[in-house]
Amino acid sequence: MLTIALITALSVLMALPLIRIARSDKRLTWTSAILLATLIGILVTLFIAEIPSRMLYWFDAEHGNIADKYSFLGFMKGDGYMYVRDIVVNTVQGIFFVIMCALTYLWGERQRKAGKFKS
C-alpha cells in the first residue's frame, strides 16, 4: 500500500507545474510543447496504468487478510474477491480518466474563450 501512496504522491507532485503552465498566457515554443507533452504522457501512464496495476497486486496479496479481518467479506476467501478487485480498480482508473478529460476540456475552453484557437 505504501508504494501506491508513494506513486500517487509522486504523480501529483509531477503534475503541479501543469497548473502554472495552464494559467500562463505565454505561448509555448516547439521545444516546451514537446517537453510538456512528454510530462503529460508520463502522468497519464502513471495515473491510468501504474496506480491501478499496483492496486491489483496489493489486493491479490492482501485479500485473505482483509477477509479474515471483516467477517462480512467471507466471499473474498475464494475467487469471489476478483470481482470486487476488478470493480474497484476499474472505478479508480475511470475516475482518473474522467478527471484528465475534464481538465483538458476546461483548459481548451479557456484557451478558446481567450481567442487562442482559430477555427
pLDDT of residue 67: 76
C-alpha 50/C-alpha 57 separation (Å) is 11
- Rounded to an integer, what distance in angstroms lies between the CA atom of residue 58 and that of residue 44? 21
Give the per-residue pLDDT at 9: 83
Q: How does pLDDT run along the chain (119 residues), one tens digit per residue?
A: 667 778 788 888 888 888 887 777 777 788 888 888 898 888 888 888 888 888 888 888 887 777 788 877 777 777 777 888 888 889 999 999 999 999 889 888 888 887 776 65
In the chain, the N- to C-terminal Cα span, in Å, equals: 47
The whole-angstrom separation of Cα 102 and Cα 5 is 23
Position 94 scores a pLDDT of 93
The answer to whether the CB of 100 falls within 8 A of the CB of 46 is: no
pLDDT value of residue 12? 82
What is the distance of C-alpha 36 from the center of its chain?
A: 17
Helices (H), 70-115: 81-113
Instruction: Decide: helix, strand or coil at residue 41.
Output: helix
